[in-house]
Amino acid sequence: MRHVLSALVQNVPGVLAHVAGMFASRGYNIDSLAVGETEDPHLSRMTFVVVGDAQVLDQVRKQLEKIVTVVRVDDVSASEFVERDLMLIKVQADSNKRPEISELCHIFRGRIVDVAPDQVTVEISGQEKKVEAFVDLMRPYGIVELVRTGRIAMVRGIDQSDKSASVSSQAKKPTAAK
């Protein structure tokens, strides 16, 4: 089963390396990872997509909670949530192909963000299936380069002060970096 975990972490150097090292040392694969600062500049949010049963999820959660710089861990996939992926894709596109690609961009609510003599770069965001479908449609044109963010996710309409959505049994207070 696919699980989306959100870890609120202290925004200090080395946190990403520490967390990634924990996953690797225990043989867990990260299908997707996105990290970014939150509304509090002292905290970052790491969003992981991992595949496994309930036992794997429980082990990952417990290991994350042991890391000092991890403030809270939430299983986002246990609730109703909104999920997005962002992709930039550069495809071969001479002047004859551009109208077709432009129409596909419009259908997928994407946009052309760069135009070169024989190529266009398209930005697409949405659920993973939508992004994958667009990639499949672009293959015949010739994909030159493709880059994607990891999935980001947020629980729908929940009061952020509601700690019952937290997988973590205890919230740690962020400490100043030393």
**Span 23-40, pLDDT tens digits:** 888 888 899 999 999 999
Mean pLDDT of 174-178: 46
pTM: 0.77
pLDDT for residue 40: 95
Parts of the chain belonging to CATH 3.30.70.260: 2-79+158-165
pLDDT for residue 158: 61
Residue ranges of alpha helices (H) inside 8-142 are: 15-25, 54-66, 98-107, 128-138
Q: Collapsing DSSP states into helix, strand and coil, what is residue 131?
A: helix
Q: What is the pLDDT of residues 141-164, one digit of tens each?
A: 999 999 999 899 999 986 554 444
- Tell me the C-alpha distance between 105 and 91, whole Å: 12
The model's confidence at residue 177, banded by pLDDT at 50, 70 and 90, is: very low
- Tell me the C-alpha distance between 174 and 30, whole Å: 25
pLDDT for residue 89: 98
The model's confidence at residue 176, banded by pLDDT at 50, 70 and 90, is: very low
In CATH terms, 2-79+158-165 corresponds, of 3.40.50.970, 3.30.230.70, 3.30.70.260, 2.40.50.100, to 3.30.70.260
- Tell me the C-alpha distance between 4 and 160, whole Å: 17
Please enumerate in sequence order all residues whose Cβ is within 8 A of that of 48, keeping only pairs 6 or more positions apart, or say none: 4, 5, 6, 7, 30, 32, 33, 60
pLDDT for residue 163: 45
CA distances from 32 to 5, 23, 42, 84 (A): 10, 12, 23, 12
* pLDDT above 70 (res 165): no
Q: What is the pLDDT of residues 46-66, one digit of tens each?
A: 999 998 888 888 888 888 999
Arithmetic mean of pLDDT over the chain: 88
Residue 71: name the closest of 19, 146, 129, 131 by CA.
Answer: 19
Please enumerate in sequence order all residues whose Cβ is within 8 A of that of 102, keeping only pairs 6 or more positions apart, or say none: 112
Class of domain 82-152: alpha beta
